Structure 1
Amino acid sequence: MKAIRIIGAMSIEIKMIRDRMVVGSKKQYAGFTFYQGKYKDLNIVLTTCGVGKVNASSCTQILIDRFNVTEIINTGIAGSLNEKVKLLDIVISDNVTYHDVRQEQMKTCFPFKEFFTASEQLKNLAVKAYERTLHDSYNYHVGRIVSGDGFICDDDMKRGIVEIYNPHCVEMEGAAIGHVAEINEVPFIIIRSISDNADNNAPVNYEEFEELAANNSARLVLNILDEISS
């Protein structure tokens, strides 16, 4: 039976999913709260990891160690790093990496990988889930997502990240979740909706679009669950 584990960084990113689950129990480990329950016929554990790479990796490892896991889905918001990726668009991860760790270090230190690759099956399910919505107000993109321990809101920093990594968007948890999932041989997917453009105007855009973007991402995750259930 599918045992799907869903992680958001903040409560706003998982609220829509929690509201549609039948929660059977709530457990706490190391300060993280894990909601166990059902969505249709699927066994779900839903949690928030908090902001940043260490929180995300700690929470992911607890999920894997404490709960039977067949897939991990990370949902949330991000800043666009590609001119084709507009506010409220969806980004589905192809691969993830850190923008604040040197590429040489990634390749020469354990686990000796520059990128962590998302599950092809989950990626295809995410595309199908988007297409089921027939949504004409925002688009989806499949591509690289980069993570780092800082909110990117500076034009020069944005340009530097784009030049090195050519990513679709930037956030603060996805690569850590993908990293831990991959070394544990657990399939994963990172889903993001765009709240800002990671530029000098990012704080203003973020305030306006945070909730809308969080709900876009969560809605796609629910559609993925519908695809798996059917």
Structure 2
Amino acid sequence: MKRIGIIGAMALEIELLKNNININTSKNIAGFDFFLGDIDNKDVIITRCGEGKVNAASCTQILIDRFGVDSIINTGIAGGLHESVKICDVVISSNVTHHDVRKAQMENCFPYRECFQADEKLIEFAVEACESHHSENWNYHIGRIVSGESFIQDIEIKKNLLRDYSPHCVEMEGSAIGHVAHINNIPFVVIRSISDNADDEATISYNAFETIAANKSAEIVLSMLQML
């Protein structure tokens, strides 16, 4: 893997990574800041796409078109959905999909897929990284990640997502990154640490754990870079 693109939605999700990259140059394209450099002798580009799927898709396409990345890792935080997923656990994407687009539309319109598969090799590296960091205080999971244009903080919506998609967690960017990576034939994986349970107390939990969870996800990505 020659050049690795790393995307976080918010500044706090890439702060630890930026602190560890030897930045050679930075560029601003279409309002997105791209930091080019190296980590552990790996050619890396780190960027913050902002919240939401449109921002994430736009930023991902720029990474591919303008910077020629060979693989993409999305890092950040998410709301836990599956009953086995706890606060500060890590979810590695097996696949990603949009929860706010009908399945029939996904299957019948380009690119004719209900979900987008994460790269098996990147998943293996993520698992190895999690194993190297693992402790009694948190666990890691491999499963579906769903994305939509809203912060989920309603127990009824959570139940519906579990019923319809059987996901491990929910956020706002991963499926768009996976979608764009797929149509460009670029390997990707989404790494998310859980900040809340996507329920009626989500906002309180999010405020308490967002930085802890963001840093945990970034630590996993840093370990992955040592292995790639």
Q: Which category of TM-score, normalised to the shorter sequence, fits these structures?
A: over 0.9
Distance 1:82 1:23 in 2: 38
Alignment of 1:76-115 (within 5 A): 76-115=76-115
Matched, 1:208 2:208: yes
Matched, 1:47 2:51: no
Letter in 1 for 2:3: A
Note the C-alpha offset of 1:135: 2.4
Local SS of the residue matching 2:131: helix
Tell me what 2:9 maps to: 9
Local SS of the residue matching 2:87: coil
Tell me what 2:152 maps to: 152
Note the C-alpha offset of 1:149: 0.1
Distance 2:2 2:12 in 1: 25
Letter in 2 for 1:176: A
Distance 2:101 2:83 in 1: 24
Distance 1:170 1:221 in 2: 19
Note the C-alpha offset of 1:133: 1.8
| 1:118-165 per-position Cα deviation (integer Å, ceiling 9, x unaligned) | 000000010011111242211000000000000000011111111000
Distance 2:16 2:135 in 1: 18
Distance 1:72 1:8 in 2: 11
TM-score, normalised to structure 2, is 0.99
Change in 2 beyond 3 A, CA 1:198/1:34? same
- Identity percentage of aligned residues: 55
Matched, 1:116 2:86: no
Distance 2:66 2:45 in 1: 11
Distance 2:197 2:151 in 1: 11
Note the C-alpha offset of 1:64: 0.3
RMSD of aligned Cα (Å): 0.7
Letter in 2 for 1:204: I
Local SS of the residue matching 2:100: coil
What number of residue pairs does the alignment pair up?
A: 228
Tell me what 2:68 maps to: 68
Tell me what 1:189 maps to: 189
Tell me what 1:58 maps to: 58
Tell me what 2:130 maps to: 130
Note the C-alpha offset of 1:83: 1.0
Distance 1:14 1:32 in 2: 13
TM-score, normalised to structure 1, is 0.98
Gaps of 5+ in 1: none
Distance 1:26 1:136 in 2: 39
Distance 1:134 1:82 in 2: 20
Distance 1:2 1:137 in 2: 35
Tell me what 1:175 maps to: 175
Note the C-alpha offset of 1:49: 0.2
| 1:91-122 per-position Cα deviation (integer Å, ceiling 9, x unaligned) | 00000001100000000000000000000000
Local SS of the residue matching 1:87: coil
